[in-house]
Amino acid sequence: MTSAALANDQQFSIQTRMLESWRLEIIAANNAFIHGQNARAFNHYHAALELARSGVAGLLKASELVSIEEAERQIAALVVTRHNLADLFRQSGQLANVVEHLCAAHEALFQLLHHADNEIRALAQRHSTITYQELLSYIQRHGQHIHIQQTLLLTKYVCICCRQKVAH
């Protein structure tokens, strides 16, 4: 096995372990959330968020391409975690935190729209339709919010070069 192949296998193994850790944190957080243990749920969601952010950060700085399946899982992990945190804060009536997490999910996808890999850009575009809908749903339920308006403005007018990259 070449050193490049070994490095790729090691990277895949690290990513796989990280996603498994993320999955376990989400399960624990969801269980705590269901049982009204908000502090415990927050701790697990926060741990899951750190893992998901690390995975997406790896996509942003990856010099070597990861599999599209791996990229899909990393992106989905971040969106799911941010939206679960938003749900937790919504239940607690902490609307400013809801907005923070909904916007952060959408903004992270906006960063991925600038990725060098066409498939990762397409994944980001697909997931951004979900985060966009969540932002609109928030506005319908709670009214306008300046952070949401700024986020939507930022991503509504995606530069022409990004639109062309996603289309190709």
- Higher per-residue confidence, 161 vs 17: 17
Whole-model pTM: value is 0.85
Domain boundaries, given as residue ranges, for the chain: 3-167
Could you report the per-residue pLDDT of 82-108, keeping only the tens digit for each?
Answer: 999 999 999 999 999 999 999 999 999
Could you report the per-residue pLDDT of 104-153, keeping only the tens digit for each?
Answer: 999 999 989 888 888 999 999 999 999 999 999 999 999 999 999 999 98
Identify the DSSP state of 64.
Answer: S
Task: Tokens for 138, please give them.
Answer: 């928030």
Q: How far apart are CA 66 and CA 8, in angstroms?
A: 9
Could you report the per-residue pLDDT of 2-30, keeping only the tens digit for each?
Answer: 554 444 555 556 778 889 999 999 999 99
CATH architecture of 3-167: Alpha Horseshoe (1.25)
Specify the pLDDT at position 6.
Answer: 46
Rounded to whole angstroms, what are the CA distances from 72 to 54, 59, 106?
Answer: 14, 10, 15
Q: How far apart are CA 75 and CA 77, in angstroms?
A: 5
- Residue 52's pLDDT band (cuts 50, 70, 90): very high
